[in-house]
Homo-oligomer: A and B are copies of this chain.
Amino acid sequence: MEAEASGLKKQQLHTKLNGPTNSMVTPLLTDLYQFTMAYAYWKARKHLERAVFDLFFRRNPFGGEYTVFAGLEECVQFIANFKFTEEDILYLRSSLPNCEDGFFDYLRGINCSDVEVYAISEGSVVFPKIPLLRVEGPIAVVQLLETPFVNLINYASLVATNAARHRFVAGKSKVLLEFGLRRAQGPDGGISASKYCYIGGFDATSNVAAGQLFGIPLRGTHSHAFVSSFMSPNEIIDKSLCRNDGSSTCEDFVSLVQTWLRKIQWTHSLHGVFGETNQSELAAFISYALSFPQNFLALVDTYDVMRSGVPNFCAVALALADLGYKAIGIRLDSGDIAYLSIEARKFFCAIEKEFEVPGFGNMTITASNDLNEETLDALNKQGHEVDSFGIGTYLVTCYAQAALGCVFKLVEINNLPRIKLSEDVSKVSIPCKKRCYRLYGREGYPLVDIMTGENEPRPKAAERVLCRHPFNESKRAYVVPQRVEELLKCYWPGDSVQTPYGVLKSRYPGK
Protein backbone atom coordinates (compact mmCIF):
# COMPACT_ATOMS: atom_id res chain seq x y z
CA MET A 1 0.00 0.00 0.00
CA GLU A 2 1.92 2.95 -1.29
CA ALA A 3 0.23 5.59 0.82
CA GLU A 4 0.72 3.64 4.02
CA ALA A 5 4.34 3.18 3.17
CA SER A 6 4.77 6.87 2.62
CA GLY A 7 4.47 8.31 6.06
CA LEU A 8 0.90 8.06 7.32
CA LYS A 9 0.78 8.26 11.08
CA LYS A 10 -0.68 5.36 12.95
CA GLN A 11 -2.02 6.69 16.20
CA GLN A 12 -5.77 6.41 16.64
CA LEU A 13 -8.07 8.10 19.11
CA HIS A 14 -11.73 8.00 19.94
CA THR A 15 -13.59 11.25 19.62
CA LYS A 16 -16.84 12.23 21.30
CA LEU A 17 -19.81 12.86 19.06
CA ASN A 18 -20.22 16.59 19.57
CA GLY A 19 -21.18 17.43 15.99
CA PRO A 20 -19.52 18.20 12.67
CA THR A 21 -16.57 20.59 12.56
CA ASN A 22 -18.48 23.03 10.39
CA SER A 23 -21.77 24.22 11.86
CA MET A 24 -23.06 24.62 8.29
CA VAL A 25 -23.33 20.83 8.13
CA THR A 26 -27.00 20.52 9.04
CA PRO A 27 -29.85 18.30 7.78
CA LEU A 28 -30.62 21.05 5.24
CA LEU A 29 -27.19 20.64 3.64
CA THR A 30 -28.69 18.30 1.10
CA ASP A 31 -30.37 18.36 -2.30
CA LEU A 32 -33.99 19.38 -2.49
CA TYR A 33 -34.84 16.10 -4.21
CA GLN A 34 -34.00 14.19 -1.05
CA PHE A 35 -36.97 15.98 0.55
CA THR A 36 -39.31 15.57 -2.43
CA MET A 37 -38.43 11.87 -2.46
CA ALA A 38 -38.89 11.64 1.30
CA TYR A 39 -42.35 13.11 0.84
CA ALA A 40 -43.21 10.71 -1.97
CA TYR A 41 -41.99 7.76 0.16
CA TRP A 42 -44.03 9.04 3.06
CA LYS A 43 -47.13 9.49 0.90
CA ALA A 44 -46.67 5.97 -0.50
CA ARG A 45 -46.18 4.69 3.09
CA LYS A 46 -42.80 3.38 1.99
CA HIS A 47 -40.68 5.72 4.11
CA LEU A 48 -39.89 3.13 6.77
CA GLU A 49 -38.89 0.40 4.32
CA ARG A 50 -35.41 -0.83 5.12
CA ALA A 51 -32.94 0.16 2.42
CA VAL A 52 -29.26 -0.52 1.93
CA PHE A 53 -27.08 1.99 0.08
CA ASP A 54 -23.41 1.64 -0.93
CA LEU A 55 -21.15 4.69 -1.10
CA PHE A 56 -18.26 4.08 -3.50
CA PHE A 57 -16.23 5.64 -6.30
CA ARG A 58 -15.62 4.26 -9.75
CA ARG A 59 -12.05 5.33 -10.54
CA ASN A 60 -8.96 6.24 -8.56
CA PRO A 61 -8.17 9.95 -8.85
CA PHE A 62 -5.13 11.52 -10.52
CA GLY A 63 -4.74 8.56 -12.86
CA GLY A 64 -3.42 6.64 -9.89
CA GLU A 65 -3.75 3.20 -8.39
CA TYR A 66 -5.11 4.00 -4.94
CA THR A 67 -7.28 6.35 -2.92
CA VAL A 68 -7.01 7.30 0.75
CA PHE A 69 -10.43 7.17 2.37
CA ALA A 70 -11.28 10.15 4.57
CA GLY A 71 -14.31 12.03 5.85
CA LEU A 72 -15.88 9.24 7.90
CA GLU A 73 -15.62 10.97 11.24
CA GLU A 74 -17.50 14.03 9.96
CA CYS A 75 -20.25 11.74 8.62
CA VAL A 76 -20.66 10.06 11.98
CA GLN A 77 -20.58 13.42 13.77
CA PHE A 78 -23.31 14.52 11.38
CA ILE A 79 -25.75 11.67 11.90
CA ALA A 80 -25.12 11.59 15.64
CA ASN A 81 -26.52 15.12 15.77
CA PHE A 82 -29.12 14.84 13.00
CA LYS A 83 -32.19 16.84 14.00
CA PHE A 84 -34.36 19.40 12.23
CA THR A 85 -34.87 22.70 14.01
CA GLU A 86 -38.22 24.49 13.91
CA GLU A 87 -36.56 27.08 11.66
CA ASP A 88 -35.57 24.28 9.25
CA ILE A 89 -39.14 22.94 9.23
CA LEU A 90 -40.50 26.42 8.58
CA TYR A 91 -38.19 26.85 5.63
CA LEU A 92 -38.98 23.39 4.21
CA ARG A 93 -42.68 24.07 4.52
CA SER A 94 -42.29 27.27 2.51
CA SER A 95 -40.20 25.40 -0.10
CA LEU A 96 -42.69 22.51 -0.41
CA PRO A 97 -45.98 24.35 -0.08
CA ASN A 98 -48.24 21.52 -1.25
CA CYS A 99 -46.97 18.86 1.13
CA GLU A 100 -49.23 17.65 3.93
CA ASP A 101 -48.66 18.70 7.56
CA GLY A 102 -48.14 15.12 8.66
CA PHE A 103 -44.95 14.97 6.63
CA PHE A 104 -43.42 17.84 8.55
CA ASP A 105 -44.40 16.18 11.81
CA TYR A 106 -42.61 13.10 10.54
CA LEU A 107 -39.49 15.18 9.70
CA ARG A 108 -39.59 16.75 13.17
CA GLY A 109 -39.31 13.32 14.74
CA ILE A 110 -36.46 12.02 12.58
CA ASN A 111 -33.15 11.09 14.10
CA CYS A 112 -30.64 8.49 12.97
CA SER A 113 -31.14 5.97 15.78
CA ASP A 114 -32.39 3.33 13.33
CA VAL A 115 -29.67 3.95 10.78
CA GLU A 116 -26.59 1.72 10.66
CA VAL A 117 -23.30 2.78 9.12
CA TYR A 118 -20.62 0.24 8.24
CA ALA A 119 -17.39 1.66 6.89
CA ILE A 120 -13.77 1.03 6.07
CA SER A 121 -11.60 2.76 8.67
CA GLU A 122 -10.68 6.36 7.90
CA GLY A 123 -7.19 6.78 6.48
CA SER A 124 -7.22 3.36 4.77
CA VAL A 125 -6.05 2.84 1.24
CA VAL A 126 -9.15 1.92 -0.78
CA PHE A 127 -10.07 0.93 -4.30
CA PRO A 128 -12.87 1.49 -6.85
CA LYS A 129 -16.28 -0.18 -6.53
CA ILE A 130 -15.64 -1.53 -3.02
CA PRO A 131 -18.12 0.28 -0.75
CA LEU A 132 -16.43 2.79 1.58
CA LEU A 133 -19.69 2.99 3.49
CA ARG A 134 -22.74 0.78 3.64
CA VAL A 135 -25.68 2.68 5.06
CA GLU A 136 -28.81 0.85 6.15
CA GLY A 137 -32.02 2.31 7.48
CA PRO A 138 -35.47 3.66 6.67
CA ILE A 139 -35.28 4.68 3.04
CA ALA A 140 -36.53 8.24 3.56
CA VAL A 141 -33.91 8.97 6.21
CA VAL A 142 -31.03 7.33 4.38
CA GLN A 143 -31.86 9.33 1.25
CA LEU A 144 -31.58 12.55 3.27
CA LEU A 145 -28.05 11.49 4.25
CA GLU A 146 -26.89 10.88 0.68
CA THR A 147 -25.79 14.39 -0.28
CA PRO A 148 -24.02 15.35 2.96
CA PHE A 149 -22.25 11.96 3.14
CA VAL A 150 -21.03 12.20 -0.44
CA ASN A 151 -20.04 15.84 0.09
CA LEU A 152 -18.14 15.06 3.30
CA ILE A 153 -16.29 12.08 1.78
CA ASN A 154 -15.58 13.21 -1.79
CA TYR A 155 -13.25 16.10 -1.13
CA ALA A 156 -11.81 14.63 2.07
CA SER A 157 -10.72 11.46 0.27
CA LEU A 158 -9.55 13.36 -2.78
CA VAL A 159 -7.29 15.75 -0.90
CA ALA A 160 -5.99 13.05 1.47
CA THR A 161 -5.07 11.02 -1.61
CA ASN A 162 -3.42 14.04 -3.20
CA ALA A 163 -1.39 14.60 -0.02
CA ALA A 164 -0.34 10.93 0.07
CA ARG A 165 0.77 11.17 -3.55
CA HIS A 166 2.84 14.27 -2.80
CA ARG A 167 4.38 12.46 0.16
CA PHE A 168 5.21 9.48 -2.03
CA VAL A 169 7.00 11.64 -4.60
CA ALA A 170 8.77 13.82 -2.02
CA GLY A 171 10.03 10.83 -0.07
CA LYS A 172 9.86 10.06 3.64
CA SER A 173 12.76 12.27 4.68
CA LYS A 174 11.32 15.59 3.49
CA VAL A 175 9.19 17.87 5.61
CA LEU A 176 5.88 18.63 3.88
CA LEU A 177 3.95 21.77 4.82
CA GLU A 178 0.42 22.53 3.66
CA PHE A 179 0.23 26.23 2.73
CA GLY A 180 -3.07 26.24 0.81
CA LEU A 181 -5.58 28.22 2.86
CA ARG A 182 -5.64 31.32 0.69
CA ARG A 183 -6.18 29.36 -2.52
CA ALA A 184 -8.60 26.76 -1.16
CA GLN A 185 -12.18 26.57 -2.38
CA GLY A 186 -13.70 28.58 0.45
CA PRO A 187 -13.02 28.77 4.18
CA ASP A 188 -13.65 25.18 5.08
CA GLY A 189 -12.07 24.01 1.85
CA GLY A 190 -9.03 25.43 3.60
CA ILE A 191 -9.75 23.93 6.99
CA SER A 192 -10.59 20.50 5.69
CA ALA A 193 -7.59 20.57 3.35
CA SER A 194 -5.36 21.11 6.39
CA LYS A 195 -6.98 18.22 8.24
CA TYR A 196 -6.98 15.73 5.40
CA CYS A 197 -3.51 16.62 4.11
CA TYR A 198 -2.24 15.84 7.59
CA ILE A 199 -4.06 12.50 7.42
CA GLY A 200 -2.52 11.97 3.98
CA GLY A 201 1.01 12.36 5.30
CA PHE A 202 1.86 16.07 5.63
CA ASP A 203 3.76 17.29 8.67
CA ALA A 204 2.26 20.69 9.40
CA THR A 205 0.04 23.50 8.11
CA SER A 206 0.13 27.30 7.97
CA ASN A 207 -3.59 27.42 8.81
CA VAL A 208 -4.01 28.63 12.39
CA ALA A 209 -7.70 27.74 12.61
CA ALA A 210 -6.92 24.15 11.58
CA GLY A 211 -4.16 24.07 14.17
CA GLN A 212 -6.62 25.15 16.83
CA LEU A 213 -9.38 22.75 15.72
CA PHE A 214 -7.31 19.63 15.14
CA GLY A 215 -3.99 20.10 16.92
CA ILE A 216 -2.05 20.02 13.65
CA PRO A 217 1.47 21.51 14.05
CA LEU A 218 1.75 25.05 12.64
CA ARG A 219 4.48 26.58 10.54
CA GLY A 220 5.12 30.04 9.17
CA THR A 221 7.56 32.93 9.28
CA HIS A 222 7.14 36.00 7.06
CA SER A 223 6.15 37.16 3.58
CA HIS A 224 7.54 39.46 0.89
CA ALA A 225 5.40 42.27 2.27
CA PHE A 226 7.23 42.03 5.57
CA VAL A 227 10.55 42.38 3.78
CA SER A 228 9.49 45.32 1.65
CA SER A 229 7.83 47.11 4.58
CA PHE A 230 11.31 48.00 5.91
CA MET A 231 13.55 50.70 4.44
CA SER A 232 16.94 50.21 6.08
CA PRO A 233 18.54 48.99 9.29
CA ASN A 234 18.64 52.62 10.45
CA GLU A 235 14.97 52.44 11.33
CA ILE A 236 15.51 49.66 13.88
CA ILE A 237 15.07 51.30 17.27
CA ASP A 238 15.61 48.56 19.81
CA LYS A 239 18.83 46.87 18.70
CA SER A 240 19.59 44.80 21.79
CA LEU A 241 19.42 41.02 21.95
CA CYS A 242 20.00 38.86 24.99
CA ARG A 243 22.28 35.85 24.53
CA ASN A 244 20.46 32.50 24.30
CA ASP A 245 21.87 31.41 27.67
CA GLY A 246 20.77 34.68 29.27
CA SER A 247 24.33 35.44 30.38
CA SER A 248 24.60 38.87 28.75
CA THR A 249 23.03 41.22 26.21
CA CYS A 250 24.38 42.37 22.87
CA GLU A 251 23.46 46.08 22.83
CA ASP A 252 23.81 46.56 19.08
CA PHE A 253 22.76 43.47 17.19
CA VAL A 254 22.46 45.56 14.00
CA SER A 255 26.19 46.40 14.06
CA LEU A 256 27.05 42.79 14.80
CA VAL A 257 25.12 41.72 11.70
CA GLN A 258 26.73 44.44 9.58
CA THR A 259 30.17 43.33 10.71
CA TRP A 260 29.36 39.78 9.68
CA LEU A 261 28.04 40.96 6.34
CA ARG A 262 31.35 42.71 5.62
CA LYS A 263 33.29 39.61 6.71
CA ILE A 264 31.27 37.47 4.30
CA GLN A 265 31.81 39.95 1.49
CA TRP A 266 35.57 39.78 2.05
CA THR A 267 35.59 35.99 2.22
CA HIS A 268 37.84 34.57 -0.46
CA SER A 269 35.65 31.62 -1.42
CA LEU A 270 32.58 33.86 -1.78
CA HIS A 271 34.37 36.71 -3.47
CA GLY A 272 32.38 38.19 -6.32
CA VAL A 273 29.17 36.29 -5.50
CA PHE A 274 27.54 39.47 -4.28
CA GLY A 275 28.16 43.17 -3.73
CA GLU A 276 25.79 45.49 -1.87
CA THR A 277 22.84 43.59 -0.45
CA ASN A 278 19.37 45.07 -0.23
CA GLN A 279 19.07 47.17 2.94
CA SER A 280 15.29 46.89 3.20
CA GLU A 281 15.69 43.12 3.25
CA LEU A 282 18.56 43.26 5.73
CA ALA A 283 16.46 45.40 8.06
CA ALA A 284 13.56 42.97 7.80
CA PHE A 285 15.77 39.96 8.57
CA ILE A 286 17.39 41.68 11.56
CA SER A 287 13.99 42.71 12.82
CA TYR A 288 12.61 39.21 12.45
CA ALA A 289 15.64 37.73 14.19
CA LEU A 290 15.23 40.18 17.09
CA SER A 291 11.64 38.93 17.45
CA PHE A 292 12.33 35.22 16.89
CA PRO A 293 16.01 34.57 17.66
CA GLN A 294 15.24 30.89 18.30
CA ASN A 295 13.25 30.45 15.10
CA PHE A 296 15.01 32.52 12.49
CA LEU A 297 13.88 31.45 9.03
CA ALA A 298 14.06 34.04 6.26
CA LEU A 299 12.30 34.38 2.93
CA VAL A 300 15.24 35.24 0.67
CA ASP A 301 13.74 35.97 -2.75
CA THR A 302 12.11 39.38 -2.41
CA TYR A 303 14.93 41.03 -4.37
CA ASP A 304 17.67 38.62 -5.46
CA VAL A 305 18.32 35.25 -3.83
CA MET A 306 22.08 34.85 -4.26
CA ARG A 307 23.12 38.50 -4.44
CA SER A 308 21.08 39.69 -1.49
CA GLY A 309 18.77 37.23 0.28
CA VAL A 310 21.25 34.47 1.12
CA PRO A 311 24.15 36.78 2.16
CA ASN A 312 21.79 38.87 4.31
CA PHE A 313 20.42 35.71 5.89
CA CYS A 314 23.92 34.38 6.60
CA ALA A 315 25.04 37.63 8.22
CA VAL A 316 22.05 37.51 10.57
CA ALA A 317 22.47 33.78 11.20
CA LEU A 318 26.16 34.24 12.05
CA ALA A 319 25.38 37.12 14.40
CA LEU A 320 22.75 34.91 16.05
CA ALA A 321 25.35 32.11 16.32
CA ASP A 322 27.64 34.53 18.18
CA LEU A 323 24.89 34.88 20.76
CA GLY A 324 24.30 31.15 21.01
CA TYR A 325 21.25 30.87 18.72
CA LYS A 326 20.97 28.42 15.85
CA ALA A 327 19.12 29.84 12.85
CA ILE A 328 16.68 27.52 11.09
CA GLY A 329 17.16 28.37 7.43
CA ILE A 330 15.72 30.00 4.35
CA ARG A 331 12.64 29.82 2.20
CA LEU A 332 12.71 30.11 -1.60
CA ASP A 333 9.43 31.19 -3.19
CA SER A 334 10.38 31.82 -6.83
CA GLY A 335 12.93 31.11 -9.51
CA ASP A 336 14.79 27.90 -10.33
CA ILE A 337 14.42 26.03 -7.05
CA ALA A 338 16.84 23.24 -7.93
CA TYR A 339 19.62 25.65 -8.93
CA LEU A 340 19.03 28.15 -6.15
CA SER A 341 18.86 25.49 -3.44
CA ILE A 342 22.16 24.02 -4.64
CA GLU A 343 23.81 27.45 -4.78
CA ALA A 344 22.47 28.39 -1.37
CA ARG A 345 23.73 25.09 0.06
CA LYS A 346 27.20 25.76 -1.37
CA PHE A 347 27.15 29.20 0.19
CA PHE A 348 26.19 27.75 3.59
CA CYS A 349 28.94 25.13 3.33
CA ALA A 350 31.51 27.77 2.36
CA ILE A 351 30.51 29.78 5.43
CA GLU A 352 30.70 26.71 7.67
CA LYS A 353 34.21 26.05 6.41
CA GLU A 354 35.42 29.64 6.36
CA PHE A 355 34.18 30.65 9.80
CA GLU A 356 34.18 27.24 11.43
CA VAL A 357 30.51 27.27 12.41
CA PRO A 358 29.56 23.59 12.78
CA GLY A 359 26.25 22.68 11.20
CA PHE A 360 25.91 25.90 9.21
CA GLY A 361 26.02 23.90 5.99
CA ASN A 362 22.94 21.93 7.08
CA MET A 363 20.74 25.01 7.28
CA THR A 364 17.16 24.05 6.31
CA ILE A 365 16.08 25.05 2.82
CA THR A 366 12.33 25.31 2.31
CA ALA A 367 10.79 25.77 -1.12
CA SER A 368 7.28 26.98 -1.83
CA ASN A 369 6.67 28.12 -5.40
CA ASP A 370 3.57 26.58 -7.06
CA LEU A 371 4.77 23.08 -6.27
CA ASN A 372 2.94 19.92 -7.23
CA GLU A 373 3.62 16.23 -7.87
CA GLU A 374 5.22 16.91 -11.25
CA THR A 375 7.50 19.70 -10.03
CA LEU A 376 8.58 17.59 -7.05
CA ASP A 377 9.36 14.75 -9.40
CA ALA A 378 11.26 17.07 -11.76
CA LEU A 379 13.24 18.49 -8.82
CA ASN A 380 14.18 14.98 -7.73
CA LYS A 381 15.40 14.17 -11.21
CA GLN A 382 17.41 17.39 -11.51
CA GLY A 383 18.91 17.11 -8.06
CA HIS A 384 18.28 19.75 -5.39
CA GLU A 385 19.08 20.70 -1.81
CA VAL A 386 15.56 21.35 -0.53
CA ASP A 387 14.70 19.87 2.90
CA SER A 388 11.15 21.03 3.21
CA PHE A 389 8.34 21.82 0.77
CA GLY A 390 5.48 24.24 1.34
CA ILE A 391 2.66 23.23 -1.01
CA GLY A 392 -0.53 25.18 -1.57
CA THR A 393 -2.75 25.66 -4.60
CA TYR A 394 -2.14 22.36 -6.42
CA LEU A 395 -2.46 20.36 -3.25
CA VAL A 396 -5.58 21.80 -1.66
CA THR A 397 -7.62 22.46 -4.78
CA CYS A 398 -6.58 19.08 -6.22
CA TYR A 399 -5.81 21.01 -9.36
CA ALA A 400 -4.92 17.89 -11.35
CA GLN A 401 -8.42 16.51 -10.75
CA ALA A 402 -10.73 18.69 -8.73
CA ALA A 403 -13.38 16.09 -7.87
CA LEU A 404 -13.68 12.47 -6.85
CA GLY A 405 -16.82 10.91 -8.22
CA CYS A 406 -18.22 9.20 -5.14
CA VAL A 407 -21.77 7.94 -5.59
CA PHE A 408 -24.42 6.52 -3.28
CA LYS A 409 -26.46 3.72 -4.78
CA LEU A 410 -29.46 1.76 -3.58
CA VAL A 411 -28.49 -1.92 -3.58
CA GLU A 412 -31.28 -3.51 -1.57
CA ILE A 413 -34.73 -2.69 -0.24
CA ASN A 414 -36.82 -4.95 2.02
CA ASN A 415 -34.13 -7.61 1.49
CA LEU A 416 -34.61 -7.51 -2.28
CA PRO A 417 -31.61 -6.60 -4.44
CA ARG A 418 -31.85 -3.45 -6.62
CA ILE A 419 -29.79 -2.38 -9.60
CA LYS A 420 -29.37 0.76 -11.70
CA LEU A 421 -28.76 -0.11 -15.34
CA SER A 422 -26.84 2.03 -17.80
CA GLU A 423 -25.63 1.85 -21.37
CA ASP A 424 -22.23 2.58 -19.84
CA VAL A 425 -21.30 -0.69 -18.10
CA SER A 426 -19.07 1.13 -15.59
CA LYS A 427 -22.18 2.95 -14.36
CA VAL A 428 -24.21 -0.19 -13.65
CA SER A 429 -24.53 -0.53 -9.89
CA ILE A 430 -23.68 -3.84 -8.19
CA PRO A 431 -26.81 -5.01 -6.38
CA CYS A 432 -27.16 -6.69 -2.94
CA LYS A 433 -25.95 -6.01 0.54
CA LYS A 434 -22.31 -7.01 0.54
CA ARG A 435 -19.47 -8.03 2.77
CA CYS A 436 -16.00 -6.88 1.80
CA TYR A 437 -12.68 -8.48 2.63
CA ARG A 438 -9.04 -7.61 2.15
CA LEU A 439 -6.91 -10.69 1.52
CA TYR A 440 -3.32 -10.55 2.72
CA GLY A 441 -0.43 -12.59 1.35
CA ARG A 442 2.58 -14.24 2.90
CA GLU A 443 4.62 -11.08 3.53
CA GLY A 444 1.72 -9.35 5.19
CA TYR A 445 0.97 -7.23 2.13
CA PRO A 446 -2.61 -6.93 0.91
CA LEU A 447 -3.26 -8.86 -2.31
CA VAL A 448 -6.82 -8.01 -3.29
CA ASP A 449 -10.12 -6.68 -1.95
CA ILE A 450 -13.18 -8.80 -2.64
CA MET A 451 -16.94 -8.43 -2.20
CA THR A 452 -19.35 -11.24 -1.41
CA GLY A 453 -23.08 -11.41 -0.87
CA GLU A 454 -24.04 -10.91 2.77
CA ASN A 455 -24.71 -14.57 3.37
CA GLU A 456 -21.96 -16.11 1.27
CA PRO A 457 -19.25 -17.91 3.22
CA ARG A 458 -16.40 -15.78 4.53
CA PRO A 459 -13.07 -16.49 2.82
CA LYS A 460 -10.72 -18.29 5.17
CA ALA A 461 -6.98 -17.97 5.71
CA ALA A 462 -4.98 -20.69 3.94
CA GLU A 463 -7.98 -21.70 1.79
CA ARG A 464 -8.13 -21.06 -1.93
CA VAL A 465 -10.55 -18.26 -2.96
CA LEU A 466 -11.73 -17.63 -6.51
CA CYS A 467 -11.67 -13.83 -7.05
CA ARG A 468 -13.67 -12.60 -10.06
CA HIS A 469 -14.02 -9.17 -11.61
CA PRO A 470 -17.69 -8.10 -11.40
CA PHE A 471 -17.96 -7.06 -15.07
CA ASN A 472 -15.06 -8.78 -16.77
CA GLU A 473 -15.28 -12.57 -16.86
CA SER A 474 -11.71 -12.94 -18.09
CA LYS A 475 -10.32 -11.21 -15.01
CA ARG A 476 -10.26 -13.91 -12.36
CA ALA A 477 -7.64 -15.48 -10.15
CA TYR A 478 -7.29 -18.01 -7.37
CA VAL A 479 -5.79 -16.54 -4.22
CA VAL A 480 -4.72 -18.29 -1.03
CA PRO A 481 -4.77 -15.58 1.64
CA GLN A 482 -2.64 -15.81 4.75
CA ARG A 483 -4.98 -13.46 6.53
CA VAL A 484 -8.49 -12.15 5.86
CA GLU A 485 -9.68 -8.76 7.11
CA GLU A 486 -13.33 -7.75 7.03
CA LEU A 487 -13.29 -4.19 5.71
CA LEU A 488 -16.67 -2.80 6.70
CA LYS A 489 -16.96 -2.26 10.44
CA CYS A 490 -19.88 -0.76 12.33
CA TYR A 491 -19.36 2.96 13.09
CA TRP A 492 -22.94 3.85 13.90
CA PRO A 493 -24.77 3.47 16.21
CA GLY A 494 -22.04 4.09 18.74
CA ASP A 495 -21.03 6.66 21.28
CA SER A 496 -17.70 7.70 19.83
CA VAL A 497 -15.88 7.46 16.54
CA GLN A 498 -12.38 6.23 15.93
CA THR A 499 -10.43 9.10 14.42
CA PRO A 500 -7.37 8.45 12.34
CA TYR A 501 -3.80 9.32 13.16
CA GLY A 502 -4.45 11.47 16.18
CA VAL A 503 -5.42 14.37 13.97
CA LEU A 504 -8.13 15.40 16.31
CA LYS A 505 -6.18 15.06 19.48
CA SER A 506 -6.74 18.60 20.68
CA ARG A 507 -10.22 18.99 19.38
CA TYR A 508 -11.86 18.42 22.71
CA PRO A 509 -9.03 19.19 25.07
CA GLY A 510 -9.50 17.80 28.51
CA LYS A 511 -11.98 15.14 27.44
Chain A contacts to B: CB under 8 angstroms: 20-26, 28-37, 39-41, 43-46, 49, 51, 53, 88, 91-92, 95, 98-99, 139, 143, 146-148, 150-152, 154-156, 159, 179, 181-192, 206-209, 211-212, 218-226, 228-231, 235-238, 287-288, 290-292, 294-295, 301-304, 334-335, 393, 397-399, 401-403, 405-406, 408-410, 413, 416, 418-424, 427
Q: In the complex, A32→B155 CA distance in Å?
A: 24
Interface centre among A152, A295, A410, by most B CB within 10 Å?
A: A410
Determine how close the nearest CB of chain B comes to the CB of A113; give it in whole angstroms. 22
Q: B402 to A25, Cβ gap below 8 A? A: no
Determine how close the nearest CB of chain B comes to the CB of A61; give it in whole angstroms. 12
Q: Contacts A147-B182, A182-B151, A212-B91; is A335 near B423 (CB within 8 Å)?
A: yes
Q: B229 to A31, Cβ gap below 8 A? A: no
Q: B45 to A237, Cβ gap below 8 A? A: yes
A422: chain B residues within 8 A (beta carbon): 301, 334
Determine how close the nearest CB of chain B comes to the CB of A452; give it in whole angstroms. 22
Determine how close the nearest CB of chain B comes to the CB of A229; give it in whole angstroms. 5
Q: A143 to B225, Cβ gap below 8 A? A: yes
Determine how close the nearest CB of chain B comes to the CB of A338; give it in whole angstroms. 15
Minimum CB distance partner of A237 in chain B = B45
Minimum CB distance partner of A103 in chain B = B291
Q: B24 to A191, Cβ gap below 8 A? A: yes
A37: chain B residues within 8 A (beta carbon): 222-223, 225-226
Q: A228 to B419, Cβ gap below 8 A? A: yes
Q: Contacts A36-B222, A221-B36; is A209 near B26 (CB within 8 Å)?
A: yes
Q: B181 to A154, Cβ gap below 8 A? A: no
Q: Contacts A26-B209, A393-B405, A423-B335; is A229 near B413 (CB within 8 Å)?
A: yes
Q: In the complex, A146→B182 CA distance in Å?
A: 8
Given A46-B235, A53-B225, A398-B402, 10 new contacts (CB under 8 A): A25-B187, A31-B208, A36-B291, A51-B229, A95-B208, A98-B292, A143-B226, A150-B183, A185-B186, A185-B398
Q: In the complex, A406→B146 CA distance in Å?
A: 34
A22: chain B residues within 8 A (beta carbon): 22, 24, 186-188
Q: In the complex, A475→B206 CA distance in Å?
A: 40
Q: A43 to B287, Cβ gap below 8 A? A: yes
Interface centre among A139, A225, A334, by most B CB within 10 Å?
A: A225
Q: Contacts A44-B290, A186-B189, A291-B39; is A181 near B29 (CB within 8 Å)?
A: yes
Determine how close the nearest CB of chain B comes to the CB of A101; give it in whole angstroms. 14
A46: chain B residues within 8 A (beta carbon): 229-230, 235, 287
Q: Contacts A23-B23, A28-B208, A182-B150; is A420 near B44 (CB within 8 Å)?
A: no
Contact of A182 among B154, B222, B295, B397 (CB under 8 A): B154
Q: B183 to A154, Cβ gap below 8 A? A: yes
Q: B303 to A191, Cβ gap below 8 A? A: no
Determine how close the nearest CB of chain B comes to the CB of A429; give it in whole angstroms. 8
A398: chain B residues within 8 A (beta carbon): 185, 402
Q: Contacts A151-B186, A416-B231, A421-B302; is A221 near B33 (CB within 8 Å)?
A: yes
Minimum CB distance partner of A153 in chain B = B182
A186: chain B residues within 8 A (beta carbon): 22, 151-152, 155-156, 185-186, 188-189, 191-192
CB<8 Å pairs between A and B, sample of 8 = A22-B24, A24-B191, A29-B187, A31-B208, A37-B225, A40-B290, A154-B182, A399-B403
Q: A418 to B287, Cβ gap below 8 A? A: no
Determine how close the nearest CB of chain B comes to the CB of A185; give it in whole angstroms. 4
Q: A334 to B36, Cβ gap below 8 A? A: no
Determine how close the nearest CB of chain B comes to the CB of A466; give it in whole angstroms. 29
Q: In the complex, A46→B225 CA distance in Å?
A: 13
Contact of A30 among B208, B416, B423 (CB under 8 A): B208
Q: Contacts A28-B209, A225-B143, A287-B44; is A402 near B399 (CB within 8 Å)?
A: yes
Determine how close the nearest CB of chain B comes to the CB of A74; give it in whole angstroms. 9
Q: A36 to B220, Cβ gap below 8 A? A: yes
Determine how close the nearest CB of chain B comes to the CB of A114; give it in whole angstroms. 17
Minimum CB distance partner of A87 in chain B = B212
Q: Contacts A44-B287, A208-B32; is A189 near B189 (CB within 8 Å)?
A: yes
